[in-house]
């Protein structure tokens, strides 16, 4: 056997037989592709069916005059034929699926989906096989582009949108006459969230809507615009008004309440700023004040205020409490038509006087400001015990309580 295989003529014979067999297989493969009787090839594997998704569909019509709707963007096709042809066609996709509307006029039509560029040795099935299309005259109109500002309330604190400029200001919209007649507004959108300075935006898409707010599928030229958003920060300094409530506790007086700052910078719209004349503090509860010190008070910022340089302010309180002050040796005067009587008690003719009041009032009074007197209505010699009267001007002793060391004095008239 080995000697036979080593024979050159035997090898040549085997090679010839293999070549003939290969030729027969290819011939049968092509034959059964053209005349498939349902039984497949002699090997049962030479015929194949493959389905391709998302095959684009083109439209043959004068696009300068007409607008077509109803043509699907893509379809599904099935290829049937030999393995080699199906595989090559599926990989290359060098065929075209289209609808031919060249000879049709304005209106609604049911048309078949056609194909080209496919070998005659392949069967091709398109799904769907036909579609309903609408042909309309093309129309173009020029429209101004309006601006729709989104999230205006989310702009950075203290800022507001001023002027918005768009370039170009107008675009040309093209579609069927019926759709063009439905156009209500052409706009571009800008989201100003967190904007804190003027910005320029390039290539902002333009959208077209009808009266119901439905977006229309049209051609826009140019499809985008450039936009400049002017962001500004209106503000002014406003005086602060200090507010209080309730009364101070008994025995305590507030001598001063001083704001650490008298103005606050307010950011708001120009219209609101014009109305704002002052900013009030939250009321300080005076009933809880019992000593001097500094307290922090919130500012009552109106809702229209976007931002303020401060949300609270420090207030310094000066408080004083009632004290006593003793004035020694206050002279007692007498009223008599005779010579001055002699004081027996007090022998000095003067007494100590205790003043009770707030320090700021007490410090103004000296003993020379006090007037004490005894009134003598008799000229008969003898000793008399008479009440000591405080005849000081009431304005001098305003808010001051006076207590005398003695309420009576004993005098002698000779």
Residues 97-127 pLDDT 10s? 999 988 888 889 999 999 998 888 999 999 9
Site of tokens 């800022």: 159
The pLDDT value recorded for residue 350 is 93
Task: Tell me, yes or no, whether 341 lies in a domain.
Answer: yes
Q: How many CB atoms are located within 10 Å of the residue 26 CB?
A: 12
CA count, 13 A, side-chain hemisphere, 378? 11
Instruction: Please give the sequence-ordered ranges of beta strands (E in DSSP) within 242-287, or none if there are none.
Output: 244-245, 252-259, 263-267, 279-281, 284-285
Report the percentage of the chain scoring pLDDT > 70. Answer: 89
The pLDDT value recorded for residue 241 is 94
Task: Tell me, yes or no, whether 129 lies in a domain.
Answer: yes
Q: Which of 321, 348, 378 is the last residue of a domain?
A: 321
Task: Tell me, yes or no, whether 357 lies in a domain.
Answer: yes
Task: Tell me, yes or no, whether 257 lies in a domain.
Answer: yes
**53 and 122 belong to one structural domain:** yes
Is residue 22 over pLDDT 70?
A: no
Task: Tell me, yes or no, whether 185 lies in a domain.
Answer: yes
24: domain range? 2-34
Report helix, strand or coil for 277: coil
* Each residue's pLDDT tens digit, 298-331: 999 999 898 899 999 999 999 999 999 999 999 9
pTM of the predicted model as reported, rounded to 2 decimal places: 0.50
**105 and 62 belong to one structural domain:** yes
Is residue 5 over pLDDT 50?
A: yes
Is residue 199 over pLDDT 80?
A: yes
Q: Is the CB of residue 72 less than 8 Å from the CB of residue 54?
A: no
Q: Is the CB of residue 128 less than 8 Å from the CB of residue 75?
A: yes
User: 173 has which bridge partners?
Assistant: 141, 220
Task: Tell me, yes or no, whether 297 lies in a domain.
Answer: yes
The tokens for 371 are: 């007037």
CA 304 to chain centre: 14
* Each residue's pLDDT tens digit, 36-53: 444 344 344 468 899 999
Q: How many CB atoms are located within 10 Å of the residue 59 CB?
A: 17
Task: Tell me, yes or no, whether 40 lies in a domain.
Answer: no
The pLDDT value recorded for residue 47 is 83
**156 and 75 belong to one structural domain:** no
**The dihedral formed by the CA atoms of 59, 60, 63 and 65, expressed in degrees to the nearest 10:** -120
- We report the CATH number of the domain holding residue 200 as 2.170.120
d(CA 234, CA 365): 54
Q: How confident is the model at residue 137 (pLDDT cuts 50, 70, 90)?
A: confident
Task: Tell me, yes or no, whether 10 lies in a domain.
Answer: yes
**179 and 240 belong to one structural domain:** no
**317 and 331 belong to one structural domain:** no
d(CA 332, CA 315): 47
Contacts of 360 (CB under 8 A, 6+ apart): 255, 320
The pLDDT value recorded for residue 23 is 59
**335 and 265 belong to one structural domain:** no
d(CA 294, CA 259): 10
Section 276-281 average pLDDT? 94
Q: Which of 213, 232, 251 is the last residue of a domain?
A: 232
**216 and 264 belong to one structural domain:** no
Q: For the chain, how many structural domains are there in total?
A: 5
**241 and 315 belong to one structural domain:** yes
Is residue 340 over pLDDT 70?
A: yes
Report the percentage of the chain scoring pLDDT > 90. Answer: 55
d(CA 237, CA 86): 81
- We report the CATH number of the domain holding residue 118 as 2.170.120.30
DSSP secondary structure letters along 145-201: PEEEEE-GGGSPTT-EEEEEEEESSEEEEEEEHHHHTT--EEEEEEE-TT--S-EEE
**247 and 302 belong to one structural domain:** yes
Q: Is the CB of residue 118 less than 8 Å from the CB of residue 77?
A: no
* Each residue's pLDDT tens digit, 69-90: 889 999 999 999 999 889 888 8
**113 and 132 belong to one structural domain:** yes
Is residue 25 over pLDDT 70?
A: no
Q: Which of 138, 163, 181 is the last residue of a domain?
A: 138
The pLDDT value recorded for residue 37 is 44
**170 and 211 belong to one structural domain:** yes
**103 and 174 belong to one structural domain:** no
Q: What are phi and psi of 366, to 5 degrees?
A: -115, 175
């Amino acid at each position: 056997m080995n000697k036979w295989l080593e024979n050159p003529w035997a090898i040549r014979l085997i090679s010839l037989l293999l070549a003939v067999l290969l030729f027969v297989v290819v011939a049968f493969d092509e034959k059964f592709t053209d005349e498939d009787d349902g039984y497949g090839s002699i090997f049962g594997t030479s015929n194949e069916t493959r389905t391709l998704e998302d095959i684009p569909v083109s439209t043959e019509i004068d696009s300068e005059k007409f607008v077509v709707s109803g043509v699907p963007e893509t379809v599904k096709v099935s290829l049937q034929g030999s393995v080699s042809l199906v595989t090559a066609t599926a990989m290359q996709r060098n065929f075209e699926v289209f609808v031919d509307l060249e000879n049709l006029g304005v209106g609604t039509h049911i048309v078949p989906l056609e194909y080209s560029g496919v070998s005659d040795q392949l069967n091709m099935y398109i799904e769907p096989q036909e579609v309903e299309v609408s042909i309309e005259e093309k129309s173009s109109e020029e429209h101004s582009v309006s601006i729709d500002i989104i999230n205006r309330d989310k702009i950075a604190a203290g800022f507001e949108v001023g002027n918005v400029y768009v370039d170009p200001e107008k675009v040309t919209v093209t579609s069927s006459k019926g759709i063009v007649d439905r156009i209500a507004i052409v706009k571009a959108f800008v989201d100003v969230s967190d904007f804190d300075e003027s910005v320029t935006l390039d290539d902002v898409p333009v959208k077209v809507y009808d009266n119901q707010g439905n977006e229309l599928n049209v051609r826009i030229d140019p499809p985008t615009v450039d936009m400049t958003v002017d962001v500004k920060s209106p503000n002014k300094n406003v005086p602060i008004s200090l507010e209080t409530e309730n009364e101070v506790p008994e025995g305590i007086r507030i001598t001063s309440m001083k704001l650490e700052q008298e103005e606050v910078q307010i950011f708001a719209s120009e219209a609101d700023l014009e109305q704002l004349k002052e900013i009030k503090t939250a009321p300080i509860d005076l009933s809880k004040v019992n000593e001097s010190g500094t307290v922090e008070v919130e500012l009552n910022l109106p809702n229209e205020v976007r931002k303020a340089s401060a949300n609270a302010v420090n207030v310094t309180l000066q408080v004083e409490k009632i004290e006593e002050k003793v004035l020694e040796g206050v002279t007692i005067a007498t009223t008599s038509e005779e010579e001055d009587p002699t004081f027996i008690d007090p022998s000095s003719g003067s007494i100590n006087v205790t003043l009770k009041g707030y320090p700021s009032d007490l410090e103004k009074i000296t003993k020379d400001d006090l007037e004490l007197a005894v009134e003598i209505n008799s000229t008969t010699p003898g000793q008399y015990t008479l009440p000591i009267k405080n005849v000081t001007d009431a304005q001098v002793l305003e808010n001051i309580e006076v207590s005398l060391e003695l309420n009576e004095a004993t005098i002698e008239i000779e």
